Amino acid sequence: MGAMALTPVARAEDGYDLWLRYAPTDAARSSSLSAHVTAIVATGTGPTWAAATSELQRGIAGMTGTKPAVTATIQQGALWLATPASSPSLPVKTDGLGLEGYAIRSVTIDGKAVTLIAANSDVGLLHGAYHWLRLAQTGASLDSLAIASAPKIGLRMLNHWDNLDGSVERGYAGQSIWDWWRLPDYKGPRYTDYARANASLGINGTVLNNVNARSESLTAPYIAKAAALADIFRPYGIKVYLSVKWTAPMELDGLKTADPLDPAVAAWWKAKADEIYKAIPDFGGFLVKANSEGQPGPQDYKRTHADGANMLAAAVKPHGGIVMWRAFVYAHDNPDDRAKQAYSDFKPLDGQFADNVIVQVKNGAIDFQPREPFHPLFGAMPKTPLMMEFQITKEYLGQSTHLTYLGPLFEETLDADTFAKGKGSTVAKVIDGSLEGHKLTGIAGVANIGVDRDWSGSIFNQADWYAFGRLSWDTSLSARDIATEWAAQTFSPDQKVVQPVVMMMMGSREAAVDYMTPLGLAHIMNTGHHYGPGPWVSELARPEWNPVYYHKADANGIGFDRTKSGSNAVSQYAPTIAKMLDDPKTTPERELLWFHHLPWDYRLKSGDTLWDGLIHHYEHGVADVAQMRATWETLRPMVDTERFAETETLLTIQQREAQWWRDACIAYFQSVSKRPLPAGSAAPAHSLDYYKALKFPFAPGN
């Protein structure tokens, strides 16, 4: 059977296809691709083989207009998929690739030039197929390929904060994509497309429900719904996990306690695990938020986090399951410094967790801020596997409307040096297990996915999902290279498009830091919905819910003193870092006010006073967004009308809101500092009372 010619169908771009657009190429590239793939040779069978071959057919047909045939016979120019099991005389070694890695090689078989994708498993072949398609879409050379790739991190997961009623906590792209009401019967195509997108990045796990969990998610009807999704995801190498509520035994079956050391509680969880694994044999395990923000947990019974985690771990261990126990804890009875509490609670438990427990730690010690220093737990628990938790959904970074590419934030955290075992002990080496020899390793991203046609609330928000996935597979990648890949696949491989798009993306997160929380400020967003500025908020019941708690601005200065003379949070870091952070002169200025309360006339490296420098940072942020808008305008002739117009509108919103951030924050801080604005700086457009009076009772995601 020969290749079939297809006529490309012209259609509007709505973002649904993500980075898997497989857009038609020019004649020269199309001819080259057709020559490289005269057929797809696949000798294996099963749903994952089918997924790999159909994705290759789909991609090549989209780019060239010709759908290659699938055959079992090697021919000149074929794309050959093989495992040692399917082809015992494989001409490429697959040692060291594990079960998910792959090799891509240009080889000659019986005088025929072919491209070989080899792996030890069907899922490895699927990952290799997506890598080849990425090369094809980005215009890379397909000659003389010699690629070997395997993930260093074992668990690469999305955490969905999706509720059973279809809402999404901190979701800014519409309702949940899980239609719990119609599952398990109706399994729409979007679930498969979700799996395709994740598999293309190497993401291999999905927590289906919110960490603020409902007990009902563990009932038989909802287990059946989760099983239906697991069946769809399985061919793509993706396991499902569930968040659990600590008091589920009490709420569902009337137990009198949820004490983890009570034999009846342990027996309940063992029976529940058995029930889940009967429906989902490859179920991944549980994610737990306990004793945080009012959630129940083992501390309610004078037990430790380790006591709770280990009880659950025993329930899932016979099935090969794991427990991910979140370290995001803070309580009203710890008024000293919220940033210290996770370390204080978990550091003493190092070495006490079962071997199928991994502690999930946010990238910073507060809460997914535009910038935070790396969490001090990284490097501080050598006997315990730690799992990174990033937030892809931008709760504090402009939500769905601001273009703030998170690749640099992820990269900054992963590359941070903990000095736990001397220089070079990066956060990446902590979470990939190489620093301490851990086998259980993981990284999680709080998903930004909803039912919007573009999945993420905007085209550019897709890049954050993409960047998380690519860095989860390979933490050594650069945010810039990832942005380049994404832009080439999402818009065009033409460098006249790629270069300005990447320039916008790479400056966008720093711009947001400048117009929101410059110089180490944090958590000054309005409370509850976290939309817009609210540095004046001070009346909430718990101190650490109030922005004034974090910036501590007064007539004398601004910043949170975490030095030895303050909360001494610096002592939670390795001595080399603690010494650096204890002195404002050696603290990186980007984190200055995180660690120091300084006078308004403190001199920055620029020569500005702290007051003038703060104002200038706010102004730079606004100016950078204006430049992003101007850059986008130059791309009008080169980007499809639909996606250009959407982005144009969102950048307009972003510039307006950046100005709002600048004006509102300056109005408040000036009311405290009583200082004049620097020469040339415009006064806020409105009074402080005007900004304080703004209300947003129906902000999304709250």
Active-site positions read: 293, 367, 395
- Both tokens assigned to 79: 């794309």
Strand order in the sheet with 40-42: 70-71, 40-42, 79-82, 112-118, 102-109, 146-149
Q: CB-based contacts of 365: which residues, under 8 Å, 6+ apart?
A: 338, 339, 340, 342, 343, 372, 373, 375, 376, 569
d(CA 2, CA 68): 7
Show contacts of 85-94: CB within 8 Å, 24+ apart.
Answer: 85/44, 86/43, 86/44, 87/43, 90/118, 91/116, 92/116, 92/118, 94/118, 94/119, 94/120, 94/124
Q: What is the DSSP string of 466-502?
A: HHHHHHHH-TTS-HHHHHHHHHHHHT-S-HHHHHHHH
- Both tokens assigned to 191: 């679930």
Q: CA Rg, the chain, in Å? A: 26
Answer positive or negative: Cα dihedral of 640, 642, 646, 649: positive
Amino acid at residue number 366:
I
Question: Three-state SS across 100-141?
Answer: CCEEEEEEEECCEEEEEEECCCHHHHHHHHHHHHHHHHCCCC
The helix/strand/coil state of 389 is: strand
138 CB-side CA count, 13 A:
19
d(CA 440, CA 310): 15
Q: CB-based contacts of 284: which residues, under 8 Å, 6+ apart?
A: 155, 205, 239, 240, 241, 321, 322
The residue length of the chain stands at 702
Phi, psi of 585 (to 5 degrees): -75, -25
Residue located via tokens 């380790």: 306
Bridge-based pairing of strands 79-82 and 40-42 is parallel
Longest dimension (CA), the chain: 82
Answer positive or negative: Cα dihedral of 453, 455, 456, 461: negative
Give the residue among 547, 256, 155, 515 at the shortest CA–CA distance from 371: 515
Give the residue among 205, 202, 200, 255 at the shortest CA–CA distance from 226: 205
d(CA 355, CA 340): 26
d(CA 64, CA 326): 47
Distance from chain centroid for Cα 183:
26
Bridge-based pairing of strands 239-244 and 598-599 is unpaired
The helix/strand/coil state of 249 is: helix
Give the residue among 265, 269, 282, 350 at the shortest CA–CA distance from 313: 269
- Evaluate whether 312 touches 288 at the Cβ level (below 8 Å): yes
